[in-house]
Amino acid sequence: MKQLLIATTNPGKLAEIKEFLSDMPIELMSLDDKNIIDRPEETGKTFEENAVLKAKFYADKSGLPTIADDGGFEIDALGGEPGVKSHRWIHGDREDEDEELIAYTMERLKGVPLQNRGAKLRVVIAFSTPGGKMHTAEASVCGIIPLTPSAARIAGYPYRSLLYLPRFNKFYNHDDLTPEENESINHRKKALEELKPFIRAALAKESPRDFC
């Protein structure tokens, strides 16, 4: 069976991507499965640049078709911050803790009225083959940041405790959303669905021919 590398160190993200690709006849591999510990320096100025950089790095490193993503939180009242700095917003030289990010966001929005607290989670997923073929897809989910964050926490996803979805009257938490609600809005799923035809085509081209 053909293999596809999911290049992420986030356990929650890995599980989510595996779920959304479970309908494909491929073996989904993690960085741990391939014993890859090297990490590229994320020097891109946009989500797309970082996603492409990571996908190419790990495809070259593993010799496998690879998907990698980059994304983050964009807050209207803060001019799109934190954006590409979503996980290094506070300290810069190291990744911020989930609780730090939640508290810092609420502090930055102190005094901002509810009608101006629009925000979105945006993701760009890149698919790269070892030969250098590259495709990207982007999706987002929009909502507001209420005056009080959710009491629920999802490790590795601090901004889901901040993003409230008015149409469902729920936070962006897959445990609270029904399967139908989550499927209809999940930004990572939407981007992966857009990439699936390219993944199928690339894997088909790499399959050996049968000779009779």
Q: Which of 75, 87, 100 is nearest to 50 (CA)?
A: 87
The angle formed by the CA atoms of residues 192, 159 and 177, to the nearest 5 degrees, is 65
Q: What residues form DSSP beta bridges with 30?
A: 6
Whether the CB-CB separation of 128 and 141 falls below 8 Å is answered with no
| Contacts for 52 with CB less than 8 Å, ≥ 6 apart | 44, 126, 128, 134, 136
Give the C-alpha separation, 149 to 176, whole Å.
14
Q: Which residues are catalytic?
A: 70
> What SS3 state is found at 140?
strand
- Fill in the amino acid letter for 118: G
Residue 10: left (phi > 0), alpha (psi -120 to 50), or beta? beta
124 Cβ neighbours under 8 A, 6+ residues apart: 46, 47, 48, 50, 51, 69, 70, 71, 136, 137, 138, 191
